[in-house]
Amino acid sequence: MKPISIFSLLFLFIAVFSKAQSDEKFYQPSKTMKPFEFKTLEQINLPVDQDTITAFIAKPDAKNIRKTIFYFHGSGGNVTTYQFMTKPLVEAGYQVVMIDFRGYGLSTGKPSHKNIAEDGQKFFDELMKRPDIKNTKVYIYGASLGTQIAAHLAKDNVSKISGLILDCPMSSFTDIAAHFNPQYKDFILQSMVSPYAAKEDVKALGKLPVLVIHGGEDKTIPYEQGKLVFDNASEPKVFIKSKGDHLQGLVNNKEEILKAIDKL
């Protein structure tokens, strides 16, 4: 092969690798907020660096709230996009903290793998100071891309939480990049390094209860990635194969999932 061809091939590989590696390919934030569907809602703003992260706490009708869920949504939209998932949790009696990453909804800035992990921990630390949260059983719920930060946060706070819920998890940023770039799969798997990965973080949870949910007809994240995350977790753990496509578990298997969360 001529030198010019070798350099051209190398440049192509670097270009493809950079495209798969770059954080912005994973995040599609929306600033458009839909109307909230909760009766009791509190907005929390947390300054981070030069930005502000926004979260909303939705409270159920129950007088004595005993359980809190920190909910991390997927790559698109914002917290209002995922009310079809969070509303059933609130109606079931859970207090739900819904966090928008940088750039999403009312939060400012630009999301990256690094800053969403750091911001998630800062928000967790800050809210765990509140009596109405620290005096409850706390669970972390990640949906789609949010499963990466959820698993990572759970790993670093095992003693402070009562369970981890992963809904349609990707096994890692690297694995999902390889899935969407099959022609360069081997190169990406060998060259791209995920800053953190659910398939690895769940190995460090010890005996923390884990619930993994994945759609049997998921066209966004392969079912096999959810199974890999589940297989890497230790007991006690539960796997629910939900009906339908991506993140449709709380639509099609609501009672089964709520029962499983209640037993965590």
DSSP 129: T
Looking at residue 146, its pLDDT comes to: 97
206 closest CA partner among 168, 140, 166, 154: 154
DSSP 2: -
53 closest CA partner among 108, 95, 7, 16: 108
Q: What are phi and psi of 33, to 5 degrees?
A: -95, 125
Parallel, antiparallel, or unpaired: how do β-strands 95-100 and 163-167 relate? unpaired
Helix (H) / strand (E) element for 239: namely strand 237-242
pLDDT by residue (tens digit) across 120-139? 999 999 999 999 999 999 99
Q: Tell me the C-alpha distance between 105 and 107, whole Å.
A: 6
DSSP per-residue letters across 93-108: T-EEEEEEPTTSTT--
Helix (H, G, I), strand (E, B) or coil at 130: coil
Cis amide linkage into residue 182, ω under 30° from 0 = no
Looking at residue 12, its pLDDT comes to: 46
Helix (H, G, I), strand (E, B) or coil at 165: strand
Helix (H, G, I), strand (E, B) or coil at 166: strand
Is the Cβ–Cβ distance between 164 and 209 less than 8 Å?
yes
Could you tell me which CATH number the domain at 3-262 has? 3.40.50.1820
pLDDT level of residue 156 (50, 70, 90 thresholds): very high
pLDDT level of residue 30 (50, 70, 90 thresholds): very high
Average pLDDT over residues 44-62: 95
> Count H helices, E strands: the chain?
11, 10
pLDDT by residue (tens digit) across 88-108? 999 999 999 999 999 999 999
Residue 71 pLDDT > 90: yes
DSSP per-residue letters across 171-211: S-HHHHHHHH-GGGHHHHHHH---SS-HHHHGGG-TT--EE
Q: Tell me the C-alpha distance between 192 and 179, whole Å.
A: 13
Distances in whole angstroms, Cα of residue 101 to Cα of each of 28, 41, 69: 11, 18, 17
Is the model more confident about 207 or about 21? 207
Helix (H, G, I), strand (E, B) or coil at 164: strand
Phi-psi region of 64 (alpha: psi -120 to 50; beta: other; left: phi over 0): beta
Domain residue ranges of the chain, discontinuous segments joined by +: 3-262
